[in-house]
């Protein structure tokens, strides 16, 4: 009988595709498959020719681009020299997650499906196109597609004699077991795992812990929006970047939330533990030291401030000892309960920690070894770099709006990363922030005579500050900036810097202060007023135009 092995490969930017891949993995375990769930770029792509059964789950980002964790796989798959029958023994299915309000809806999934077919793969089903815009979200497509998929797969790989599909009433084992250590074991360091020398260029798996050296508010104290210009020291990191690149920052939970979480789950934050995978071949979570404390796990790894997904409620329902709570959790994890879940969780942006408050009986019954199945890891946040290495060697600056807004919940919603960074006072001690740099989507012209027209309202001006600093350091003059904000007196970022460059002849600046007069004025009005100049730059000098929001 054929080996019942299933490989699930995902490409995920925000975690939705990863969550769906894990769900398919759980369904595979209930059908007694040997199953691996991996990010596409963690998988050794040359082994694909030996696989018999693969499900791909992928999202589309930006203008039809693959997510970061499948870019290498994507490049390999589209190599011209791959033989057309190289995947002829592969049965496969592709599940796409996208948003139909974008022109390139599910572009990556469609293209992947087509490419695997070209290479000889045998599709089990047509590509599934999950849509965020649907009233029930992507699950409206995913749920029926998965039922059809299991019918196809079980026809090829029937259940072994004497085995039944494990009932949904039975809780599956966790991914890892958690073993508490004796009190006298040595304590781990108090941060995420640091790579040992020799150092690679910093990356997600090997971030550089940069010192935060300055944190300055650049909006008036009276202004509702708190915007900061933050500077990091990256001396000795090996980091290099150019204008348009992005810095990725790994945030952490605040001590008050960590304390509340430990109290609700009745966990001792100082207890030390080691993790062991339940099955061979499952990697331990990257960056978590072994041994680790509960406090470190909750502070640096578990995303307790994210809005939980449907799968969270499904797993949580298994731990419930309280009938009322269990019924509500089961409703939230059912297909019929998705509108109610949206109203409870997504619309008010209720966090995982707040859900735990609402289900106290269930929460205190959660076995600690299930925490890594229940709560996703904290994802890094991306910021446009707002400085040039030519102007500020060994430094990275960002222009960051502190995220804070109201929903129907009494407590304001706060951005995890921006709130944490804004709270750091470099004068009160040495604070380190894990970061690394990624190539951005903007490339500025190599030809020194090509003018650039930059349209950057609000914090969208950040990458243009980097570009202007870089171009000025190289003696380039054709820099034209359209900047917009509410009022000249409260949120005109980097005003002195721009005005000095205008005086020196390096910058042509057009400003739109929308609230400084009766009629609202935006950057598009300034572009229209200066249409002759803009057209002259485009038509006779081949200017490049850049827009950032």
Residues 106 and 232 in one domain: no
Q: Determine contact, residues 483/513, Cβ cutoff 8 Å.
A: no
Stated pTM of the model: 0.92
Q: What are the pLDDT digits (tens) for 62-108? A: 889 999 899 999 999 999 999 999 999 999 999 999 999 999 999 99
DSSP code string of 257-312: HHHHHHHHTT--TT-EEEEEESSTTPPPPTT--SSEEHHHHHHHTB-TTSPP-HHH
Share of the chain above pLDDT 90, in %: 90
Does residue 166 carry a pLDDT above 90? yes
Residue 36 lies inside a defined structural domain of this protein: yes
- Pairing mode, if any, of strands 404-405 and 128-131? unpaired
Of 133-147, 367-381, 406-420, 464-478, the range with the lowest mean pLDDT is: 133-147
Residues 243 and 138 in one domain: no
Residues 421 and 474 in one domain: no
Residues 390 and 368 in one domain: no
Is residue 186 very low, low, confident or very high in pLDDT (cuts 50, 70, 90)? low
| Nearest-angstrom CA–CA distance, 205 and 211 | 19
Token pair of 547 as six digits: 């827009």
Phi, then psi, of 447 in degrees rounded to 5: -70, 120
Residues 243 and 388 in one domain: yes
DSSP code string of 71-96: HHHHHHHT-TTS-TTTTTT-EEEEEE
Q: Which domain holds residue 62?
A: 5-156
| Nearest-angstrom CA–CA distance, 293 and 516 | 53
Instruction: Give the residue from 374, 391, 419 where a domain finishes.
Output: 374
Q: Determine contact, residues 272/184, Cβ cutoff 8 Å.
A: no
Is residue 3 very low, low, confident or very high in pLDDT (cuts 50, 70, 90)? confident
Average pLDDT over residues 375-383: 96
Residue 28 neighbours by CB distance under 10 Å:
23
| Nearest-angstrom CA–CA distance, 432 and 191 | 10
Residues 295 and 344 in one domain: yes
Residue 446 lies inside a defined structural domain of this protein: no
Cα 320 from chain centroid (whole Å): 30
Q: What are the pLDDT digits (tens) for 504-535? A: 999 999 999 999 999 999 999 999 999 999 99
Residues 418 and 292 in one domain: no
For residue 196, the model assigns a pLDDT of 46
Residue 190 lies inside a defined structural domain of this protein: no
Does residue 283 carry a pLDDT above 90? no
Residues 54 and 93 in one domain: yes
Instruction: State the total domains in the chain.
Output: 4
Residues 502 and 534 in one domain: yes
Instruction: Give the residue from 374, 393, 410 where a domain finishes.
Output: 374
CA distances from 197 to 117, 200, 237, 417, 431 (A): 44, 8, 12, 28, 22
Does residue 197 carry a pLDDT above 50? no
Average pLDDT over residues 30-51: 94
- Pairing mode, if any, of strands 395-401 and 227-233? antiparallel
CATH of the domain at 59: 3.40.50.360
Share of the chain above pLDDT 70, in %: 97
For residue 549, the model assigns a pLDDT of 87
For residue 199, the model assigns a pLDDT of 67
| Nearest-angstrom CA–CA distance, 316 and 325 | 10
Residues 410 and 311 in one domain: no
Does residue 174 carry a pLDDT above 70? yes
Residues 271 and 353 in one domain: yes
Does residue 441 carry a pLDDT above 90? no
> Whats the size of the chain, residue-wise?
549
């Amino acid at each position: 009988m054929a080996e019942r092995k299933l490989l699930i490969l995902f490409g995920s930017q925000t975690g939705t595709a990863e969550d769906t891949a894990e769900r398919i993995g759980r369904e595979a375990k209930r059908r007694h498959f040997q199953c691996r769930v991996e990010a596409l770029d963690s998988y050794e792509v040359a082994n694909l020719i030996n696989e018999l059964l693969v499900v791909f789950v992928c999202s589309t980002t930006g203008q039809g681009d693959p997510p970061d964790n499948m870019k290498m796989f994507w490049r390999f798959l589209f190599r011209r020299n791959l033989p057309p029958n190289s995947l002829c023994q592969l049965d496969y299915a592709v599940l796409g997650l996208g948003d139909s309000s974008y022109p390139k809806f599910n572009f990556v999934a469609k293209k992947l499906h087509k490419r695997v077919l070209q290479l000889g793969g045998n599709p089990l089903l047509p590509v599934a196109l999950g849509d965020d815009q649907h009233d029930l979200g992507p699950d409206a497509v995913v749920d029926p597609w998965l039922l059809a998929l299991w019918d196809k797969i079980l026809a090829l790989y029937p259940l072994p004699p004497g085995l039944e599909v494990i009932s949904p009433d039975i809780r599956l084992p966790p991914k890892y077991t958690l073993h508490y250590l004796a009190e006298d074991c040595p304590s781990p360091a108090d941060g995420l795992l640091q790579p040992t020398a020799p150092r690679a260029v910093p990356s997600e798996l090997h971030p550089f812990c940069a010192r935060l050296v300055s944190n300055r508010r650049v909006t008036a104290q009276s202004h509702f929006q708190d915007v900061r210009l933050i500077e990091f020291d990256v001396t000795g990191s090996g980091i290099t970047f150019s204008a348009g690149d992005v810095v990725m920052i790994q945030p952490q939970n605040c001590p008050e939330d960590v304390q509340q979480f430990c109290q609700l789950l009745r966990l001792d934050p100082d207890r030390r533990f080691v993790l062991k995978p339940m099955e061979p071949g499952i990697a331990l979570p990257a960056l978590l030291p072994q041994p680790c404390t509960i406090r470190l796990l909750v502070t640096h790894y578990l995303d307790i401030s994210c809005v939980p997904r449907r799968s969270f409620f499904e797993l949580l329902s298994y731990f419930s000892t309280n009938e009322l709570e269990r019924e509500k959790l089961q409703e939230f994890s059912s297909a019929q309960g998705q509108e109610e879940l949206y109203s409870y969780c997504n619309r008010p942006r209720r966090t995982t920690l707040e859900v735990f408050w609402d289900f106290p009986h269930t929460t205190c019954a959660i076995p600690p070894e299930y925490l890594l199945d229940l709560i996703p890891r904290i994802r890094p946040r991306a910021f446009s770099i707002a400085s040039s290495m030519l102007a500020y060697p060994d430094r990275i600056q960002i222009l960051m709006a502190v995220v804070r807004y109201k929903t129907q919940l009494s407590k304001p919603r706060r951005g995890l990363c921006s709130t944490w960074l804004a709270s750091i006072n470099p004068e009160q001690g040495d604070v380190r922030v894990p970061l690394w740099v990624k190539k951005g989507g903007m490339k500025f012209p190599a030809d020194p005579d090509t003018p650039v027209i930059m349209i950057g309202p609000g914090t969208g001006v950040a990458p243009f500050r980097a570009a202007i600093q870089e171009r000025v350091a190289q003696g380039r003059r054709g820099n034209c900036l359209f900047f917009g904000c509410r009022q000249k007196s409260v949120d005109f970022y980097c005003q002195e810097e721009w005005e000095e460059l205008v005086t020196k002849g390096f910058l042509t600046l057009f400003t739109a202060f929308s609230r400084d007069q009766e009629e609202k004025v935006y950057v598009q009005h300034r572009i229209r007023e200066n249409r002759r100049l803009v057209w002259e730059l485009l038509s006779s000098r081949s200017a490049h135009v850049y827009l950032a929001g």
